Each structure stands twice: as structure tokens, then as C-alpha cells.
């Protein structure tokens, strides 16, 4: 999810460079919420991996991928780009199978993947030692596209916004007092404990008069319940069946606190000041993108980050005049590396 969102400034750069072109994206089904509805795209193609299917069937997955590839070949693309910042033979193969005469991506270098280098015929040797957004932009700069470091882009349907409107009205929540927490991360090293989330919530609710909305990913229902037991009044659960719904509630928050992952990138994409908690991954490359965010990392384990550190960061953000001023500054196109 984060990989796809970090490519959206590059997609915008391509649209600006080729305003009359037909531009499409191919993404795995799990990441489709990050790209569907993107205003810079004419179409989105979806494929799925076996590990994301309920039956885990590799045969069915490959057959469906083949059908998608046939559809792509019929489009007769002039240029296809593999936007990952490191060479992936499977991504390069998908690019190659489109039959496009120009195929752009990062060179595999020496090693076992060298035999797949021909999948790309426009190869860029080295990704810059910078954020993932900049690495994707570097690819298209190599073919002469002026690529500004714009904010991430995501489209949230009105129906999901309406659900959030009803939720806030029903609970009589003032969004200027609303702080969002996301409990889940795919990587154990990036997770912050429910105890620390609870301690942070208590300080914000009882000390600062804030309200906390709690979200989580599949499988973390018990962690959410544990936090509720510890905090009590002032924290509200908001189940999100998909990322679009998550983005709808994130954009109403004054600040969003999240471990590194798709939820964190979604929060930055909808324009909410974000505090990212990092363990294994490096915020230099994957930190919340744009102005006004904060990223913490300590010793390779997110749970080493203290409640005091996160509280101070949140408190500093909520003391600013309004979230609207923050969104305006982000959309000016002035981006910088995340604070660490």
C-alpha cells in the first residue's frame, strides 16, 4: 500500500508531462484502494497474488494474471515503467509481457537477477539514497520528465466520507479535538504496544481534553479491546473494512499516530499531520512524506519509543492554529525529508 502511494507523485509528473496521454496503472488487488479514483489515471488494472487469495491457489492466481496481461497487450502501450525502487524480476516480467517498445526500470546490477535485465530496455543504474518518493521520481527524470516532489494523492469516495460524518455526529465529536490511533503493522518490530497507546490516550484525553478514534487491521481486535479496557471513556473504535474508509476518518483527525505501514502513508495522503513509529524500516526511505510530520525510530524496535516522546510530538502539532493551514502548506508543493 505504501509503495503504491509513494508512486503517486510520479504519476502526477507523468500526467503533467503528457496531458493528452492515456495513462494506466497495474497494481496488486491488496493495494487497489491506494490508486483507484486517482485523478491522474485513465484506468487501473488489478491482478492478485496467490497469498492474497482465500484459497491461496497459485494456479488460479497465475491464470488471472495472464488474463490481465492479455488486456494490457491489447492497449499497445508505448511506454511501461516498473516503479519499484529496487529491481524485482516479477515486476519486470509484468512490464515485459505488456509488449511495450519502451520499458523503463531500475537495473538489476550484478548477481542472480542479471539474467532478467532484458525485461527493461531503458535501465537506470542506481536509485538515489533518498525517500521512496524521490526514487520513483528519479526514474522518470531519466527520460526527461520534469518531476516535482508533490504530495501523495489518494481518492476517498463520498460514501465513505458520509459514514464518517454520521459517526462523528452520532458521537458528538468535535474533529478539532480528534486524535487518530492505528494499532497495526505487518512487521512485529514496527508495532507499538497497546499499553503505550493507552497511556498516550489517557494523557491526551484527561490532560488535554482530546478525543481518540481507534483503528486497526485484521487480527488486532484483541489489542483494540485491551486498549479500550485500559482507557475507558474518551476513546472510540472505528472499524474500517477497507483503506478508503480508513482514509475518510483519517482526514478528519487533527493528528494521526501510526506504526510504519499503509495506514501511515494513507494519513499523509489525505493531508493529516502524522506521527510515524518505526522499528525495522528506515524513515529516511519510508517516513511520512511531506511537511509537518514526525518520524521516530529507536534501536530497531518501535516499542523502544517512549510515550513521552510521542506525546510531545502530538502536543506540538495540536498547538498549531489549524489543520487547514497544514494542508495548504503541503499542497504548495514544498516537501522535505521527514523529521526524525
Output the pLDDT for position 62. Answer: 74
DSSP strands (E only) in the chain: 24-28, 43-47, 79-81, 102-106, 122-124, 178-182, 211-215, 235-237, 255-259, 274-278, 294-297
Residue 181, beta-bridge partner list: 214, 257
Distance between CA atoms of 37 and 44, rounded to whole angstroms? 9
Domain range list for the chain: 2-141, 158-330
Output the pLDDT for position 52. Answer: 55
* DSSP, residue by residue, 170-221: HHT--GGGEEEEE---SSGGGPPPHHHHHHHHHIIIIIH--EEEEE--TT-H
pTM of the predicted protein model: 0.89
Output the pLDDT for position 86. Answer: 87
Give tens-digit pLDDT for 105-145: 999 988 899 999 999 999 999 888 999 999 999 999 999 99
pLDDT beneath 70, residues of the chain = 49-57, 321-340
Quickly count helices (H) and strands (E) in the chain.
14, 11
Q: Which CATH superfamily is domain 158-330 in?
A: Glycogen Phosphorylase B; (3.40.50.2000)
Match 494506466 to its residue by C-alpha cell: 24
Distance between CA atoms of 119 and 319, rounded to whole angstroms? 51
Q: Write the CATH number of the domain with boundaries 2-141.
A: 3.40.50.2000
Among 181, 309, 327, 173, which residue's Cα sits nearest to residue 250? 181
Distance between CA atoms of 202 and 312, rounded to whole angstroms? 14
Give tens-digit pLDDT for 30-49: 899 999 999 999 999 998 86
Match 493551514 to its residue by C-alpha cell: 325
Output the pLDDT for position 53. Answer: 54
| Residue 274: CB atoms within 10 Å | 31
| Residue 124: CB atoms within 10 Å | 18
Amino acid at each position: 500500500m505504501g509503495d503504491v502511494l509513494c508512486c503517486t507523485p510520479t504519476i502526477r509528473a507523468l500526467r503533467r508531462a503528457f496531458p493528452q496521454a492515456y495513462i494506466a496503472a497495474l497494481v496488486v488487488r491488496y493495494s487497489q484502494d491506494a490508486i483507484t479514483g486517482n485523478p491522474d489515471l485513465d484506468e487501473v488494472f488489478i491482478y492478485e497474488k496467490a497469498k492474497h487469495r482465500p484459497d491461496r491457489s497459485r494456479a488460479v492466481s497465475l491464470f488471472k494474471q495472464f488474463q490481465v496481461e492479455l488486456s494490457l497487450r491489447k492497449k499497445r502501450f508505448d511506454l511501461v515503467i516498473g516503479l519499484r525502487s529496487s529491481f524485482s524480476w516479477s515486476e519486470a516480467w509484468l512490464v515485459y509481457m505488456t509488449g511495450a517498445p519502451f520499458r523503463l526500470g531500475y537495473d538489476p546490477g550484478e548477481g542472480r537477477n542479471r539474467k532478467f535485465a532484458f525485461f527493461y530496455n531503458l535501465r537506470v543504474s542506481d536509485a538515489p539514497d533518498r525517500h521512496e518518493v524521490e526514487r520513483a521520481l528519479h526514474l522518470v527524470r531519466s527520460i526527461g520528465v520534469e518531476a516535482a516532489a508533490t504530495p501523495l494523492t489518494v481518492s476517498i469516495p463520498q460514501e465513505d466520507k458520509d459514514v464518517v460524518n454520521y459517526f462523528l455526529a452520532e458521537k458528538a465529536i468535535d474533529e478539532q479535538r480528534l486524535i487518530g490511533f492505528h494499532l497495526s503493522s505487518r512487521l512485529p518490530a514496527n508495532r507499538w504496544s497497546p499499553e503505550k497507546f493507552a497511556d498516550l490516550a489517557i494523557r491526551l484525553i484527561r490532560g488535554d481534553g482530546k478525543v481518540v478514534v481507534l483503528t486497526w487491521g485484521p487480527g488486532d481486535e484483541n489489542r483494540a479491546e485491551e486498549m479500550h479496557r485500559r482507557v475507558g471513556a474518551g476513546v472510540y473504535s472505528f472499524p474500517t473494512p477497507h483503506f478508503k474508509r480508513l482514509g475518510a476518518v483519517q482526514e478528519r483527525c487533527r493528528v494521526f499516530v501510526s506504526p510504519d505501514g499503509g495506514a501511515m502513508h494513507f494519513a499523509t495522503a489525505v493531508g493529516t499531520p502524522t506521527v510515524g513509529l518505526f522499528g525495522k524500516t528506515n524513515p529516511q526511505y519510508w517516513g511520512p512524506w511531506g511537511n509537518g510530520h514526525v518520524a521516530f525510530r529507536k534501536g530497531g524496535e518501535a516499542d523502544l519509543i517512549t510515550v513521552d516522546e510521542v506525546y510531545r510530538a502530538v502536543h506540538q502539532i495540536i498547538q498549531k492554529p489549524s489543520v487547514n493551514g497544514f494542508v495548504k502548506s503541503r499542497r504548495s508543493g514544498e516537501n522535505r525529508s521527514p523529521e526524525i
